[in-house]
Structure formats: structure tokens, C-alpha cells
């Protein structure tokens, strides 16, 4: 079985407050984008996890893909599998690659072992792995609230538009980002997304941009360059450091960054 776990970007990300459980209350719209990893899953006599492509730090047993398998293995008495992850989506980049990989494992095991788990049950499992994991059960475009696990579909038509992604390979730790986050609760992302894309520039914000742009000015320079070349909307995704722009016409690759992509939506 071959699966292509997709990345996501955030169309607006409001961190509202810090909750009593240590998590943060957020409002965001997550949008599935065509940048993908590659996962191979097949039944095996012994469990094996292999990764190629971008180097993944940490032990295999700490990898979210392995944790996802262990979760279903324990609760559904699964036999062993062989997992090969070809890592393409940059890590710690605000694109949700690790979360997507883990959720794809749940989806793949559900099919491989004919578990007949509902989307709701898969979302419940996924939310135990990470705050944005549940989004990738259905993907598409969804509003996220709570810590990101409460999801509602939203219709956003970007057909015929182009997406440009630039990851400047600047690492921004999640704890660092949340320690310096700018709380925003002054507008509704859902309401803003009902308006034309050209208005998003003045309406949608990302709570993490203020700190990230001060700490790493090149991020703001990339965002400005996207607008200068005609982006209808540009922003940082998640806690960074990937920048993305949505264009009416296909933009050119700058070749200034190793991790840079253009896709038609």
C-alpha cells in the first residue's frame, strides 16, 4: 500500500489564550496542499520502520508513525507491518508533515486490516497523537478550534490559483514560538474567509508572525517579496518558518532556496 500524506498551510492563525491544561486555544483554517511525503505500508512477520529522504531526528520508537501503529496495535491486536517513510515535507516548518504522516498510518492500517473505523473514531485516535493530526483524516479545508482538534468543514474555492511555498530552513521551536506568541481575538477567521482573496491581506493574521519576523527578518522579506511579485495573499504557515503565497498567475521559482515549490491548486 502506497499513501501520499499531504502538507497543510494555515489561512489565518489566531492564538486566543493559554488554557489551564497547558495547551493554547486557537482559531485557524487549515488547507491541504499538494506537497506530499510518501508512505509504504505492508504486512510483515516482524515490525520494521525505515525512513529515507530528509533526515528525521530522534529514535524510531519516538516517531509519530511508529506511535500511531503502536496505538492501533495495542487496541486492535494488529500483526506486524513494514513501514517505509520517504520524507519530503520539511520538518518543524509549520506544514504539519509529521502529523500528516501519523494520520496516514492510521488511515492505512484501517484499510489494510479492515478495521472499519469511522472518520470520527480515526479523528479521536489522531487527536491523541497531536493537535493538528485530526485534520488530516478528511483534509481539504477545515476550521480548527480548541487546540486545533475541533474541526468543521469550510468551502474555499482556490481552483485555478497557484501556491508558492518557500522554506528558508530556519528552525523555530514550538515552545519558543508559543512563549513569545501574540494573542489575537479581534476578528473571526471564518468571516474573513467569506470575503474576496484580495481582502485577506488586511484581515487574516498569524499570531506567530510578530515574534518570528523580529527574530528572523528574512521571513518578513520573503513575505514582502511574494506580494511584490503579485501574490493575492501571503503569510507564514503555523509557527513557521515556511512562507506561502497564493497567486492568480503562476509565479516563478527564485532558486534562492533549496526548499521551494509552486503548485496549481
User: Which residue in the list 8, 87, 164, 223 is annotated as catalytic?
Assistant: 8
Q: Are strands 162-167 and 81-87 parallel, antiparallel or unpaired?
A: unpaired
From edge to edge, which strands make up the β-sheet containing 24-36? 6-18, 24-36, 141-145, 150-153
d(CA 201, CA 191): 14
Q: Where are the alpha helices (DSSP H) in 184-239?
A: 189-192, 197-203, 209-215, 217-228
DSSP 73: H
Q: Are strands 48-53 and 81-87 parallel, antiparallel or unpaired?
A: parallel
Written in H, E and C, the secondary structure of 126-154 is: HHHHCCCCCHHHHCCEEEEECCCCEEEEC
Please list, in sequence order, all residues whose beta carbon lies within 8 angstroms of the beta carbon of residue 154, skipping any fewer than 6 positions away: 29, 141, 142, 143, 190, 193
Distances (CA, A) of 237 to 13, 40, 54, 84, 134: 8, 27, 20, 27, 17
| Cβ–Cβ under 8 Å, residues 25 and 207 | no
Task: Determine whether 8 is an active site residue.
Answer: yes
Closest of 142, 39, 13, 25 to residue 98, by C-alpha:
39
Element (H, E) at 236: strand 233-236
User: Which residue in the list 37, 132, 164, 223 is annotated as catalytic?
Assistant: 132
Identify whether 241 is preceded by a cis peptide bond (ω within 30 of 0). Answer: yes
Active site residues: 8, 132
Amino acid at each position: 500500500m502506497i499513501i501520499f500524506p499531504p502538507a497543510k498551510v494555515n489561512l489565518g492563525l489566531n492564538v486566543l489564550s493559554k488554557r489551564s491544561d497547558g495547551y493554547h486555544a486557537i482559531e485557524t483554517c487549515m488547507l491541504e496542499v499538494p506537497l506530499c511525503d510518501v508512505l509504504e505500508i505492508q504486512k510483515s512477520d516482524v515490525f520494521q520502520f525505515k525512513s529515507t529522504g530528509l533526515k528525521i531526528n530522534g529514535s524510531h520508537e519516538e516517531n509519530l508513525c511508529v506511535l500511531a501503529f503502536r496505538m492501533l496495535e495495542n487496541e486492535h491486536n494488529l500483526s506486524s507491518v513494514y513501514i517505509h517513510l520517504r520524507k519530503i515535507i520539511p520538518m518543524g516548518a509549520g506544514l504539519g508533515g509529521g502529523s500528516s504522516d501519523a494520520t496516514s498510518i492510521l488511515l492505512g492500517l484501517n484499510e489494510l486490516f479492515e478495521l472499519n473505523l469511522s472518520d470520527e473514531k480515526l479523528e479521536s485516535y489522531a487527536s491523541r497523537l497531536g493537535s493538528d493530526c485530526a485534520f488530516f483524516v478528511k483534509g481539504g479545508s477545515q476550521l480548527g478550534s480548541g487546540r486545533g482538534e475541533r474541526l468543521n468543514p469550510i468551502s474555499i474555492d482556490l481552483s485555478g490559483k497557484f501556491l508558492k511555498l518557500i522554506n528558508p530552513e530556519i528552525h523555530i521551536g514550538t515552545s519558543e514560538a508559543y512563549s513569545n506568541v501574540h494573542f489575537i481575538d479581534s476578528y473571526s477567521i471564518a468571516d474573513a474567509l467569506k470575503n474576496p482573496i484580495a481582502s485577506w491581506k488586511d484581515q487574516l493574521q498569524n499570531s506567530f508572525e510578530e515574534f518570528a519576523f523580529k527574530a528572523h527578518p528574512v521571513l518578513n522579506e520573503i513575505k514582502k517579496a511574494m506580494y511584490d511579485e503579485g501574490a493575492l495573499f501571503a503569510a507564514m504557515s503555523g509557527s513557521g518558518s515556511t512562507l506561502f503565497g497564493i497567486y492568480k498567475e503562476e509565479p516563478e521559482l527564485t532558486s534562492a532556496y533549496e526548499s521551494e515549490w509552486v503548485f496549481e491548486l
